[in-house]
A and B are shown apart, each in its own frame.
Chain A
Amino acid sequence: AQSVTQLDSQVPVFEEAPVELRCNYSSSVSVYLFWYVQYPNQGLQLLLKYLSGSTLVKGINGFEAEFNKSQTSFHLRKPSVHISDTAEYFCAVRENTGGFKTIFGAGTRLFVKA
């Protein structure tokens, strides 16, 4: 069975600074990987996804993530954050076996300070 570990529960960062949110996964088969964002009192929205091909994936709002198969990681990065990026970020994994079960990490709270 697949699992996801988000290594940081909270990440405080100053506005315009770079940020990296870490995600590691475990699976015995190939996987699809996702990052979602949740703003207060809202549902989750897809930021970006890795299905196949280039390991560097670009998403909305200037975010990008890199799939590293050898390290089983899918870290999320942004070179310069804004106050509006303050939210909860979830890494998710789905095994590429024909099923559709998507498992989420515990989430990382990104807090951008002025």
Chain B
Amino acid sequence: DAGVIQSPRHEVTEMGQEVTLRCKPISGHDYLFWYRQTMMRGLELLIYFNNNVPIDDSGMPEDRFSAKMPNASFSTLKIQPSEPRDSAVYFCASSFVGGVRTGELFFGEGSRLTVL
């Protein structure tokens, strides 16, 4: 089985530019999560979706951040305009509810964003 696929793996951009991070969840999973990891704040939940619908976006830092899930196999996290403090590793994870695997998150390898 293919795991969660994220792109790009690395992104370097300049302040003010738009950044789009992409995620393909594991087929059949109906939950998708976006996390941000920094040294200062650790692993923060930004937003999560269930069946393509945003359920909790209380972790989205501000209006510069937006996330979409147009279908079950694709999600984007967009930052516009980007700022140096957005530099972090952004993880996408997917999951499904059912049986003994309830609650387990499957993480992608992350997208490392550097905003200069």
Secondary structure of the A side of the interface? strand
1/0 contact trace for A78-106 toward B, CB 8 Å? 00000000000010001000011111111
Q: Does A51 have its Cβ within 8 Å of any Cβ on chain B?
A: yes
Q: Does A34 have its Cβ within 8 Å of any Cβ on chain B?
A: yes
| Residues of chain A lying within 8 A (CB to CB) of residue B109 | 41-43
Pick the residue among B35, B97, B108 that contacts A100 (CB under 8 A). B97
A51 touches B43 (CB 8 A): no
Measured between alpha carbons, how far is A45 from B93 in the docked complex, in Å? 10
| Residues of chain B lying within 8 A (CB to CB) of residue A36 | 105, 107
CB within 8 Å for A101 and B105 given contacts A43-B91, A107-B43 = no
CB distance from B49 to the nearest CB of A (A): 10
1/0 contact trace for B75-116 toward A, CB 8 Å? 000000000000000010101010010111101111000000
Pick the residue among B45, B56, B100, B107 that contacts A44 (CB under 8 A). B107
Q: Does A32 have its Cβ within 8 Å of any Cβ on chain B?
A: yes
In this complex, how many residues of chain A approach chain B with their Cβ under 8 Å: the count is 22
A51 touches B103 (CB 8 A): yes
A102 touches B91 (CB 8 A): no
CB distance from A88 to the nearest CB of B (A): 10
Which residue of chain B has its CB nearest to the CB of A45? B107
| Residues of chain A lying within 8 A (CB to CB) of residue B104 | 34, 46, 49
A46 touches B105 (CB 8 A): yes
| Residues of chain B lying within 8 A (CB to CB) of residue A32 | 102-103
Which residue of chain B has its CB nearest to the CB of A98? B97
Measured between alpha carbons, how far is A44 from B45 in the docked complex, in Å? 14
CB distance from A57 to the nearest CB of B (A): 12
Measured between alpha carbons, how far is A51 from B99 in the docked complex, in Å? 11
Q: Footprint of A on B, CB under 8 Å? A: 4, 31, 33, 35, 42-43, 45, 48, 50, 55-56, 91, 93, 95, 97, 100, 102-105, 107-110
